[in-house]
Chains A and B, each alone.
Chain A
Amino acid sequence: MGKNSLHVLKGINFTVSEGEMVSIMGSSGSGKSTLLNILGILDEADEGTYTLDGTLIKNLNEKVAARYRNKFLGFIFQSFNLINYKSALDNVAMPLYYQGVKRNIRVEKAMHYLEKVGLADWATHLPNELSGGQKQRVAIARALASDPKVLLADEPTGALDTKTSYEVMELIQGINDEGKTILIVTHEDDIAHMTKRIVNLKDGLIIDDSIVTQVRAKANSYV
C-alpha cells in the first residue's frame, strides 16, 4: 500500500432490491471489483454511504464488519478460496462455526447445502480432489450456508470452462429463483446476460444500467 491513493470509483449511485440478480460489467480497471469489495464490507468507501438491508455500513470496526459479513453476505470468488485442508463439508460448515452453531447442527446444515449443489457424495473430499466446477459449487454452498441476504460473486466463472460455467450459472440462477439477491462481477457477456440486470462501469462511473431478459443457462446435468 503506497502513500498515493488512487480513486477508483468516482461516483456510483445505484440500488439493488431484494431478489434481484445483477451483473456488474466493465473492463479491467473500471472499478468493478472495488465496488464489490465495498458491497461485501471487505473494503470501505472514502466517501458516500452504503446501506445494506436497512443498516448503514460506515466506520465499522473489524468485529462488527465480521459479524455483518457473516450475517448478511455470502461470497463466491473466482479462485474459489476454499480452505484446502478442510473437507468440502467442513468448508461449507465454516460460516456456521463463526455463527456459533453447534457442531452436529453445523454438519447437518452443511450437508443440506451440499445436497443442494449436488455434491453430497463428495462431502468428505478435500478441495484438491475436486474439479474446478465442483470447487465452485462447494464455494456456493458455503456462501449459502449462513443464509445470507446477498450473494456476491466475483468472476465466479472466470476460472472455469464454458460448459462448467453454464452449470455454475444454472445453479446460481436457481438460487436467485428462490429469492436470494445476487450480484455478479463478470466481464463475460454471455454470463452477464444470464442475470436480470446489467450495470456497466467505466473508469469508476456507471455508464449504463439496464434490465435485460434473462437467458437461462442450459446445462443438462451436474457432473
Chain B
Amino acid sequence: MFNLERWQEIFEAIRKNKLRTFLTGLSVASGIFILVILLGIGQGMQNGVQQQFENDATNRISVWTNVTSVEYKGLNPGRRIEMDNRDYNLAINKNKDKLEYKSGVYSRWGQLTTFNKESGSYRVEGVHGDYQFLENETLVVGRYINQGDVNNYEKHAVIGNQVYLDLFKGKDALGEYIDVAGIKFKVVGVYSDPGGEREETRIFIPISTAQRVYNAGDKLRSLAFTLEKHDSYEDALAASEAFSAQLEADLKTKHTIAPTDDRAVNVNNSLENAKKFYDLNKMIRWFFWGVGICTIIAGVVGVSNIMLIIVKERTKEIGIRKAIGAEPWSIIGMILHESIFVTAIAGFIGLIFSLFLLQIAGPFIEMDYIKNPSVDFSVAITTVVILVIAGAIAGFFPAYRAANIKPIEALRDE
C-alpha cells in the first residue's frame, strides 16, 4: 500500500488513461451524489412531516362541544352544548394523578388589537398557565400566563411573535399596553410556536379575565389535557384512549346527551394522530433506505461493470507485464490499488459535492412537507466505504482471472 514505486506506476496509469479514470470516477461520484441527495431529501421529508405534527403537544387531548344530533330523554336534537368551569374541574378532580398539563380555553376570533398607530386582527384565547405546554410554545421574552393572573383576573397578555412583529416592529414590548377590542392589556411575554405564523397570530390572556371581559360567565369553549408520560407508545395510547372515552362519557351524562350522539361532544386524541405520524415517519425512513440500498446496489453493479471492462481492456497489457516478469499478485494488486484509489477519490468528490449542495440549498428549501434536507455524515461516509469495498471485490475476481490466464493467451487478445 505504501510502496512508492507502485504509487508511481498507478499515477502514471491514471494520468495516461484520463478518459477511463474520468468515466469510472464519474459513475462512482454520481452514484454517491444521488444517494446522498436522496437520503437528504428523505431527512427533509421527515423534518417537514415532523413540523406538521409539532404544532401542539403530540399527546394532547382536546375537547370541544357542538350541537346535539340525537333526541335524548325528551330533549330535541339541535341543542347547543356549552361547557363551563365545572366540567373542567370535574375532569381534573377525577384524574388528578393522571394529568400532566390541563387548561380550559375561552377564545374569540378576529379581535382588533392596536398599539400606538399599528393594529391587527387576532384570535384571543383565555387560557390557564399550562396551555403553553399544550400548544408547544416557547417564550421569546417575558413569561407566560400563570395561576396568579388567573386568580386575580389580571389584564395580562402573552402575544405571538407575529403579533409582536406587526404591532411593535421589533421594539421592546414587555410592559407595554395593547388595546384588545377596547380593553387595555399589559404585555408580559412573547412566544414562538413551531406551527409558524398561523399559530403565532394569537394573543393569550388569563381564562378568568377572558370570561369576564367577554361576559361569558364561566363558559369554556374547549378543554385541553395531556396525560402523564408512559414508557411505551402502546401504554400511552391505551391510557389516553381510556381517558378520552371516560371524559366523553362523563360529559355526555352531565349534559344529558345521548351516548350515541357523536356530534355534541368531540374528544380529539392527538396521540392517534401521533401514531399516524410515527407510522408515516417510519414509512418514509424505510422508503428512503430502500431507495438508498437500491442506489448502492446500482452503484456497485456499475462499478463492477466498469472494473470488468477495465480488466478486459487491460488483458493484453497484463499479458505483456506477465511476459516481462510480473507476478500474478503484483498485477491483481496494481488493478485493485488503482480502482480503490479512483473510486475512493471519486466517492469523496461526490460526497463533498452533495453535502455542499445540501448545506447551501438545504436551509432554503421550506416546502409544506420538506424542510431543511440534510444527511448524517457518518451514513454518507459509510456509503462511500461500502461502494469502494464493493468496487474492490467486484474488481478482484476479473483481475484474479486475468492475472492467472496464460500470458500467451493474454497476448493474443486483441
Contacts and interface: CB of A to CB of B under 8 A. Distances in A.
Interface of A: 37, 40, 42-43, 62-63, 66-67, 69-71, 75, 77, 81-83, 85-86, 90, 94-95, 97-100, 102-103, 142, 146
Given A42-B407, A81-B411, A103-B5, A66 B325 contact: yes
Given A83-B317, A85-B13, A103-B8, A67 B327 contact: yes
Given A42-B408, A103-B8, A85 B324 contact: no
Contacts of A146: 324-325
A81 B408 CA distance: 11
Contacts of A70: 324-325
B408 A63 contact: no
A68 B87 CA distance: 100
Given A66-B328, A81-B323, 6 more contacts: A62-B327, A63-B327, A77-B411, A81-B411, A83-B321, A98-B330
B320 interface: yes
A97 B328 contact: no
B337 to A, nearest CB: 14
Greatest chain A CB density within 10 A among B13, B321, B330, B407 is at B407
Contact of A66 (B17, B317, B326): B326
B323 A69 contact: yes
Contacts, number: 69
B404 interface: yes
Contacts of A81: 316, 319-320, 323, 411
B202 interface: no
Nearest to A62: B328
Contacts of A67: 325, 327
A86 B317 CA distance: 11
Interface residues of B, number: 27
Given A40-B323, A62-B327, A97 B408 contact: no
B12 interface: yes
Nearest to A99: B325
B356 interface: no
B17 A85 contact: yes
A86 B10 CA distance: 12
Nearest to B407: A42
Contacts of B17: 85
Greatest chain A CB density within 10 A among B13, B16, B17 is at B16
A146 B17 CA distance: 27
Interface string B305-343: 000000000001101111111111110000000000000
B406 interface: yes
Given A85-B16, A103-B8, A98 B408 contact: no
6 contacts: A81-B319, A85-B13, A85-B16, A98-B321, A99-B325, A142-B324
Contacts of B250: none
A63 B406 contact: no
Contacts of A94: 321, 324
B9 interface: yes
A146 B321 CA distance: 13
A40 B9 CA distance: 26
Contacts of B404: 62
Given A85-B13, A85-B17, A98 B406 contact: no
B2 to A, nearest CB: 15
B323 A71 contact: no
